[in-house]
C-alpha cells in the first residue's frame, strides 16, 4: 500500500480516527506496522502515527532531524538508552539518534517533525506512576504535565466518571484515548480513538461511566503545518 502524501492534512477542520477500527499497514521495516492519524509527506513526513513493533523486532539506527515525540501505549519499547514501559512519555529532540527495538513487542503513539528545530531538551516521564493534580478551572479534570513551551502544552488528562468537560479557548487540540471513553459531537471515542480540533473550535465532551485517561496536546496548530524540507 503506498504511503499517502496527505492524510487529515487540512488543519482547519475537525479530524477523527478510530484506530481500533482500521487495519495495520506495513512500514518499510519488517515486523513494524502502523496506523496513520495525520501525515504530510512520504517516508520523511510531518506525521502522527500509532506504530506496532512485533516481538523481537527492531528499527535501524537513525537520526531524528525534526525531533520525535512518543508515548508507549502497550508493553515495553526499547533502545540503547533504556527500556520504556507502557505509559512512558519521551521527547527526543531534533538531531538526536537511537536504535529502536522491542523484545516483547509494543505499541506507541509517535509524532515526527513537529518540533521547534532549535529545541534540544530531552524528556522522559513515567506517567503510570506520576501523581495527577486537579485542574482548578475545569471541574472533573486532573492532569499530569508532560511538556510546556511557547509552542505547545502536552499532558495526561484524567476525566472523572460522567463529567462534562469543556475547553472553550485553545489554539488547536489533539486527544488520544488511553483508557475509558468520552463522547463529543455525538460520537463515542474509545481506546486508541484520536480527535483533533482546529483553533477556535471549543471542546465540549462528556466522559463515559468509567471516566477517561487521555494523552492531550494543545495550542500547537496556530501556523501552517508543512512537510519537512
Domains of the chain (ranges; CATH) run 22-126 (2.60.120.10), 129-218 (2.60.120.10)
Task: Give me the pLDDT at residue 4, please.
Answer: 58
Which pLDDT belongs to residue 54?
97
Report the C-alpha gap between 188 and 174 in whole angstroms: 16
Cell readout for 153 is 502544552
SS3 at position 92: strand
pLDDT of residue 42: 87
Pairing of strands 164-167, 203-218: antiparallel
Ranges of the chain with pLDDT below 70: 1-4
Return the pLDDT at 1.
Answer: 42
Within a 13 Å sphere around the CA of 151, how many CA atoms are in the beta-carbon half? 9
- Grid coordinates given for 115: 518540533
Host H or E run for residue 213: strand 203-218
Pairing of strands 96-98, 62-64: antiparallel
pLDDT given at position 2: 44
Specify the pairing of strand 173-184 against strand 133-134. unpaired
> pTM of this prediction?
0.95
Greatest CA separation found in the chain?
A: 47
Residue where the block lists cell 518499510: 28
Question: Which tens digit of pLDDT belongs to each residue from 6-48?
Answer: 999 999 999 999 999 999 999 999 999 999 999 999 888 999 9
Note the pLDDT of residue 147. Answer: 96
Segment 68-88, tens digit of pLDDT: 999 999 999 999 899 999 999
Amino acid at each position: 500500500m503506498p504511503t499517502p502524501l496527505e492524510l487529515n492534512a487540512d488543519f482547519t477542520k475537525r479530524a477523527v480516527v478510530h484506530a481500533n477500527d482500521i487495519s495495520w499497514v506495513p512500514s518499510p521495516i519488517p515486523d513494524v506496522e502502523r496506523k496513520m492519524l495525520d501525515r504530510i509527506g512520504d517516508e520523511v513526513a510531518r506525521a502522527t502515527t500509532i506504530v506496532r513493533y512485533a516481538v523481537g523486532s527492531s528499527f535501524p539506527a537513525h537520526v531524528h532531524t525534526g525531533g520525535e515525540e512518543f508515548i508507549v501505549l502497550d508493553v515495553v519499547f526499547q533502545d540503547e538508552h533504556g527500556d520504556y514501559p507502557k505509559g512512558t512519555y519521551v521527547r527526543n529532540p531534533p538531531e538526536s539518534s537511537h536504535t529502536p527495538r522491542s523484545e516483547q513487542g509494543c505499541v506507541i503513539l509517535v509524532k515526527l517533525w513537529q518540533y521547534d528545530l532549535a529545541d534540544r531538551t530531552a524528556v522522559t516521564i513515567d506517567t503510570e506512576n506520576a501523581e495527577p493534580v486537579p485542574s482548578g478551572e475545569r471541574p472533573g479534570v486532573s492532569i499530569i504535565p508532560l511538556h510546556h513551551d511557547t509552542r505547545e502544552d502536552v499532558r495526561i488528562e484524567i476525566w472523572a466518571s460522567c463529567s462534562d468537560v469543556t475547553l472553550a479557548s485553545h489554539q488547536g487540540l489533539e486527544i488520544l484515548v488511553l483508557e475509558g471513553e468520552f463522547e463529543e459531537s455525538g460520537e463515542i471515542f474509545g481506546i486508541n480513538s484520536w480527535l483533533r480540533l482546529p483553533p477556535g473550535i471549543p471542546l465540549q465532551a462528556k466522559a463515559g461511566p468509567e471516566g477517561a485517561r487521555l494523552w492531550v496536546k494543545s495550542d500547537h496548530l496556530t501556523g501552517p503545518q508543512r512537510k519537512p524540507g
